[in-house]
Chain A
Amino acid sequence: MNKSTKTVLIVLSIWFAVLAGCIATVAAVVWHHGVISVNVHERGPHGARIYLPVPAFIVNPLISLAGRAHPCDFDDADLEVFEQIRPAIRAALTEANRYGDFTLLEVEGRDGEHVTIQKKNGRLELRVDAPDARVSITLPESTMKAVAGAI
């Protein structure tokens, strides 16, 4: 093996090591913060299926930024009421994060719709089971904390 081949191999080895390190770091960050997932399944023979996983570490900072933004769509009276109850909402969300699995809301509609919001394995799950489609949205604990912090 000549010297130039050795150099190329060393550079390639370093490059792969750095790449593996980056991938491992991103995987660790994704694992730590969790994944927000949206799953839509239309019923019927040609029903569409959509699965959209989004790493929470991308969304959580945006939630924090959104919390600092001034919501222009609300009038001053609504904002005043919100400001007054903001500490209560924050306390409620923070307290909810302390609990294990539980079903917060369950609705059975007259036309067969079934909606549940539950905390399961540290994640908040929203499930809508309707005659024409099934939708589930899952938020990891880090996103719930980001929402509580943003409020």
Chain B
Amino acid sequence: MRSKVITIIVAGVLFAASLEASDRWLHLRVADEDGTRVSINLPFSIVEKAVPLIPPHALRHARMECNGERIDSAAFRNAVRQSAATGSAAYDGDGHHVVITRANGVVSIVASDIDGGDTVRLRLPASVIDPMVGRKSEEIDLRAAVIAMTQQGSGDLMFADSEDATVRVWIDETP
């Protein structure tokens, strides 16, 4: 009788663990100032299985932009690395000023247009952004960031807002 109870408890724990692993959902919400709303809900296991199959060089053409201006990946990478050591860093890019600060494992990035245009604010976990600027890579490694996301638990992954739109990405257990 006792062994049966132990077997049932072990089976229950394993089942709960499998639910934990496979029942997470990745959500993306975009709200534009003109009223457009976009909502994407993706089983997280899709991300976990698909992303590692993308070869690192397949995303080499990926780049980041701020208000249509390409962000200098080398300067951005150096600033993020510097902020890990000092808690904050800033640099002037092509037409924009970027300030990076860290607190409680969250990295905040504020990119403002030098000509007084839009300001974009971005918050994401340090555990996601640090692999993007890993020491091995000379480029911004988006694949490493996505793989780091797959290792995150439930909670907010990214929040970005500007004058005309907000974007939120998070993981939870509801479809």
Q: Contact check: which of A92, A103, A108 meets B41 at CB < 8 Å?
A: A103
Provide the bound-state CA to CA distance between A99 and B46, in Å.
Answer: 10
Chain A positions near chain B (C-beta within 8 angstroms): 81, 84-85, 87-89, 91-92, 95-96, 98-99, 101-110
Chain B nearest CB, measured from A120 CB (Å) = 12
B70 at the interface (CB under 8 A from A): no
Q: List 15 A-B contacts (CB under 8 A).
A: A84-B54, A85-B53, A85-B58, A87-B53, A88-B51, A91-B49, A92-B49, A95-B50, A103-B41, A103-B175, A104-B40, A105-B38, A108-B35, A108-B37, A110-B35
A102:B50 contact, CB within 8 angstroms:
no
A95:B39 contact, CB within 8 angstroms:
no
Provide the bound-state CA to CA distance between A105 and B40, in Å.
Answer: 5
B34:A96 contact, CB within 8 angstroms:
no
B 127-145 contacts with A by CB, 8 A: none
Provide the bound-state CA to CA distance between A95 and B25, in Å.
Answer: 13
Q: Chain A's interface: helix, strand, loop or mixed, by majority?
A: mixed
B 91-125 contacts with A by CB, 8 A: none
Chain B nearest CB, measured from A109 CB (Å) = 6
B68 at the interface (CB under 8 A from A): no
Known: A89-B50, A96-B43, A106-B39. 18 other contacts (CB 8 A): A84-B54, A88-B53, A91-B49, A95-B50, A96-B46, A98-B45, A101-B175, A103-B39, A105-B38, A105-B39, A106-B37, A106-B38, A108-B35, A108-B36, A108-B37, A109-B35, A110-B32, A110-B35
B75 at the interface (CB under 8 A from A): no
Q: Given the known A-B contacts A84-B54, A84-B58, A89-B50, are A107 and B38 also in contact in the complex, defined by CB atoms under 8 Å? A: yes
B50:A88 contact, CB within 8 angstroms:
yes
Q: Given the known A-B contacts A81-B58, A95-B43, A99-B43, are A107 and B49 also in contact in the complex, defined by CB atoms under 8 Å? A: no
Complex: chain B residue closest to A95, CB-CB: B46
For B42, the chain A residues whose CB sits under 8 A away are: 104
Provide the bound-state CA to CA distance between A109 and B39, in Å.
Answer: 12
For B61, the chain A residues whose CB sits under 8 A away are: 81
Provide the bound-state CA to CA distance between A95 and B49, in Å.
Answer: 8
Complex: chain B residue closest to A118, CB-CB: B41
For A104, the chain B residues whose CB sits under 8 A away are: 40-42
Chain A nearest CB, measured from B19 CB (Å) = 13
A88:B39 contact, CB within 8 angstroms:
no
Complex: chain A residue closest to B58, CB-CB: A84
Complex: chain B residue closest to A77, CB-CB: B61
- List of 7 A-B pairs having minimum Cβ-Cβ separation, nearest first: A84-B58, A110-B35, A92-B50, A88-B53, A88-B50, A106-B39, A87-B53
Provide the bound-state CA to CA distance between A101 and B42, in Å.
Answer: 12
Complex: chain B residue closest to A115, CB-CB: B38
For B50, the chain A residues whose CB sits under 8 A away are: 88-89, 91-92, 95
